Amino acid sequence: MPRFIILDGTTIRENHNGEEERPKKRQRIDDDEPTKLQGSAPSRDSIYYFDSVAREKACVIQVEQTLFQISEDLFPLGSTIRSELQQYKSDGKRTSDKEPLLLLSASADGFRALLWALSIPSKDIDGQLEPTEEAQIHPLLALATITHTYRFTTLRDQALSAIERAFSDLILAETCPSTTFAAIIEISVKMNAPKLQKVVMEKWVSRLKRREIPALPAIAAADESGLRQLRGIAYYVHAQELLSRHPHVAGANVAQLFAKSQLNTTQTVCFLAGCMSLVTFWERLQRTPPKLPCLAGCGPAAHRACVVTWNEQWHHAATSKKTLRHGSTDILAILNTVREQLTADQELVEKVTPACRKGGLDALGKTAADLLQDLPNYFPAYT
Ligand SMILES: [Zn+2]
């Protein structure tokens, strides 16, 4: 049986062959039990079990059901793992397949990634951490996780920077699935990496806006991590997904979608409240268009005529077939369609002072931009 168990960078405890575990050296901070000790006998790793390591430097470490044998020199002085190995030695003991050092808060894949990274000279590591395709992100995530857990801070920061660089690249961000976005967001929150979080969230939001990626995983991630911007656009897009799948549910009757939304009760309350608010927003705007400003080349009397024409043409555009074919909650698409119609409207060209007309179209553009910014307030978190 393993003599010592390292839970993470701050918690080590001594194993007593099934007796109650007692803290050793450092305070125990969680309640994980060494359940991974149970089951089939561990086997040697096909890559990182080196028979050729000098006996005085060799250490055997068990992660999940895999045994690794490497040189203790691989771990920097002062690191939790190196310190524990030194303690082992000073107690006159040696690790072995039968008495390995056990890492309980790691995955075998993560530990392989750590050993790989530790074997590269630190000056060369950035060049080695350059993922060019989505599959290469996952070892980096595993590396970030294990280096965070066992406090290889420099290596962790290098892994996070590499992920950030990868997601600044268009190809990766434009093709990766929601699960990858969610995994990175989770890590960025856990490791307090706001720059990484911002880069990844912007890419995710951008693809949600273009409806290239499903909204439900983004809703789950946003609610889990309390990310307002992601929450707003994700709930909004989910409403459009539901309406596009169930076009017969028209008008303000979005409540009928309740049973089909795959959201939990709290999320459904948030979702329905937001949908209702969006519908109300549009109903109000449909009746009362954005105010037409009186600008250069116009005067009080002439502007009264500008306003009459603007309001009439607004009404035509807001109730046209083109506009009504959009879902009742897709206000961003509705505003875009109305703006396109008004831009091409000849009555406005002929009867409204050019500066006033441009001011009205700009005001409409600003209404849409403000709504986009305001979406998190339409879908607030209910806790
Ligand atoms: Zn005017």
Ligand 1 centroid to Cα of residue 331, in Å, is 27
Are residues 54 and 144 part of one domain? no
What's the 296 CA to ligand 1 centre distance in angstroms? 8
Distance of alpha carbon 25 from the chain centroid: 37
**How many Å lie between the centroid of ligand 1 and the Cα of residue 280?**
29
CA of 132 to the centre of ligand 1 (A): 55
Question: Are residues 64 and 131 part of one domain?
Answer: no
Range(s) of the domain holding residue 180: 122-213
Write out the two tokens for 28: 């125990």
Going from the Cα of 149 to the center of ligand 1, the distance in angstroms, rounded, reads 64
- Residue 316 CA to ligand 1 center (angstroms) comes to 19
291, 346: one domain: yes
Ligand 1 centroid to Cα of residue 307, in Å, is 7
- Count structural domains, the chain: 3
CA–CA separation, 140 vs 146, rounded Å?
10
Q: 300 CA to middle of ligand 1, Å?
A: 8
Strands of the chain, DSSP E: 4-6, 12-14, 22-23, 43-49, 58-63, 66-71, 101-103
Residue 267 lies in a domain: no
What does the pLDDT profile of the chain (383 residues) look like in tens digits?
Answer: 555 666 666 665 555 544 444 334 433 333 344 444 556 789 999 999 999 988 889 999 999 999 999 999 999 888 888 888 888 888 888 889 998 999 988 999 999 999 999 998 877 887 888 877 778 888 899 999 999 998 898 899 999 999 998 888 778 889 899 999 999 999 999 999 999 999 999 999 999 999 999 999 999 999 998 899 999 999 999 988 887 776 555 444 555 665 556 788 888 888 888 999 999 999 999 999 999 999 999 999 999 999 999 999 999 999 999 999 988 889 999 999 999 999 999 999 999 999 999 999 999 999 999 999 999 999 987 66
Query: Could you tell me the distance, in angstroms and rounded to a whole number, from the CA of residue 137 to the centre of ligand 1?
Result: 56
Same domain, 14 and 45: yes
CA of 289 to the centre of ligand 1 (A): 15
Q: What is the edge-to-edge ordering of all strands in the sheet holding 101-103?
A: 22-23, 12-14, 4-6, 101-103, 58-63, 66-71, 43-49
229 exposed, middle or buried (CB, 10 Å; 0-12, 13-18, 19+)?
middle
Whether 126 and 101 map to the same domain: the answer is: no
* DSSP characters over 87-107: HHHHTT----SSS-EEETT--
Instruction: Take residue 88 and report the two structure tokens written for it.
Output: 């082992």
